[in-house]
Each structure stands twice: as C-alpha cells, then as structure tokens.
Amino acid sequence: MKQRDIQTKIDVVLDNLEKLKLLQEKPLAEFKADFRNIDSALHRLQTSIQALLDIGSYLIASLGLKTPGTHAQIIEILAEAGHLPQEKLKTYITMSQFRNRIVHLYNHIEVDALHEILTSELSDIRDLYTHLLKVLDSPSR
C-alpha cells in the first residue's frame, strides 16, 4: 500500500466522522423516520472501520509483525506490539465485529442499537484513528 492509499483511508475516516456527527445529533425518532439516515450511518460506520483496519494491516506489514488472519487479529497484533492500549483491546475488537455484522448481517441490525452506537460509541472510532495515526507518524516505523 502506498502513502497515497493510506492518505485516502485517512480522508475516508475524517469525512465519515464529520457526516456521522450530523447523524449523531438527530434524536432517535427523527433518525428512524428517514431510511437514508440509517443507510448512511451503516455505510459510514462500515467504511470507517474498514479504513482503520486497512491502516492497521498496513502498519503490521510495515512493522514486520505477524500476519493477521482476521480483522480482530489486526487489533490484537497491534496491541501486543504496544501500538494500541490493552485497555481498549475489547472495544476495538467489538468495533471490528460490528463491521462484520454490518456486512454480513445487515438485516439484523436494530435501528435503536445503531442510534445508540452513534450517540455513545462514535468516540471509539476517533480513538482508534488517533492511535493509528500516532504509529503512522512515529519515526521508528
């Protein structure tokens, strides 16, 4: 993956976070009233998490760490190597599992739960983004 590709992933996350913030501000009833809110939230959450996992995978390769077999292992490997905080490990793995749920079980995601994720857990995406950016910017990489 080239630096330009990484920048594209970063841009996706930043753009999505900006748009998700708009959805986050909608009260539940207003959020549920328009299917476009739900579709947009699902798509932007999925692509944000995927972009972060892609960056994590790139970091693993560039740092010469063991090859992950799953998305959750990307998080685990980076945490084991000291690049992600251990106390956030479960949160970040749950985030990667939610991405899988959007992709594979999209028709089983409750709108109330989706709205709850937007209102109370969006900061986890920002957190992971910040940690990955620190590793990208690290001179030891």
pLDDT in tens, 92-124: 999 999 998 898 877 778 999 999 999 999 999
Q: What is the pLDDT of residue 3?
A: 77
Q: Which of 71, 113, 120 is nearest to 95 (CA)?
A: 71
Domain that holds residue 36: 3-137
pLDDT of residue 105: 79
One DSSP character per residue, 82-130 reads TSS-GGGHHHHHHHHHHHHHHHH-GGG--HHHHHHHHHHTHHHHHHHHH
The tokens of 93 are what? 């793995």
CB neighbour class for 88 (10 Å; exposed up to 12, middle 13-18, buried from 19): middle
CATH number, domain of 53, equals 1.20.120.580
Q: How many domains does the chain have?
A: 1
- Check whether 141 has a pLDDT greater than 60: no
| Percent above pLDDT 90 for the chain | 86
Mean pLDDT within 117-141: 91
Record the pTM. 0.92
